Amino acid sequence: MTEIDLSADLFGQTLTSPLLNASGVHCQTKEELNDLANTSNLGAMVTKSATLQAREGNPNPRYYDLENGSINSMGLPNLGYDFYLDYVLQEQTKPTILSVAALSAADAITLLKDLQASDYQGPTELNLSCPNIVGEPQLAYDFEATDRVLSEVFSFYTKPLGVKLPPYFDLVHFDKIAAVLNKYPLTHVNTINSIGNGLWVDVDQEQVVTKAKGGFGGLGGTMVLPTALANVRALRQRLNDSIKVLGTGGVTSGADVFAHTLCGADLVSVGTQVMKEGLGIYDRLAEELKAIMAEKGYQSLADFRGKLKEL
């Protein structure tokens, strides 16, 4: 029987698997990052989204498991940009995407100017989509502001750079964001971040389940899979071929990885299910994906990537 090939490409680096961790889950500390580096069937890793200064994040409780997913209001807790830059320069042993987040357009420019001047040559992801910063909007919902930021960024930034996007829900919005992104030499888009702002009610206690923002938080896990697949499909149809699509959201099985890939995802991230199951999930997903591919007669991801059929 022919060996099933799960290899994928990360901007010129060959990965043994298309699977990534979703930034924000088990990737904040050096110990957690090292755990990822030693996780089999995790093709590449993504750091916690780093802000200019270290952040404690929102007060606890800020994560709550739901039967069909999760709700969180983490608020970008991280050890600060300098820590993660040092890690990717000194410590990384697995292909890594450095994720950075800005609380303002000015912060984004400051971060990326520092990165441009640094020795780091690897891929960076600019998070334009955190829904859980109190008082701060998601930049990528403002198409003109996104355009202005990217225009300034690419006036000086020459290294590999992608963006992390929030979920979009209207076909016109897909058209508008793609028109902006296609103007720039982005390596990739990562879609989707969690769906903000959801709310869960503990009926027994008659109260919300997370503290910040009165209980409003980002939704993840199984319930967001249809939205994630729609965003992967819609953006893949609209973006330049040179811009890769990283699919994130709702992955709990090899079938979900298959579906993301069928919709056009080059790589697939896992978040909530890692919280529920631990890092062993990557071995399970890889085996389930291989079984599906073998049953269908596919030998590589390229055999079916982006080949979703329509009725």
- Supply the residues annotated as catalytic: 130
Cβ 35 vs Cβ 60: under 8 Å: no
- What angle separates helix 143-153 from helix 171-181, to the nearest 10 degrees? 20
Cβ 246 vs Cβ 20: under 8 Å: yes
Instruction: In whole angstroms, give the CA distance from residue 185 to residue 172.
Output: 22
DSSP string over 59-83: PSP-EEEETTEEEE-----BS-HHH
SS3 per-residue string spanning 276-310: HHCCCHHHHHHHHHHHHHHHHCCCEHHHCCCCCCC
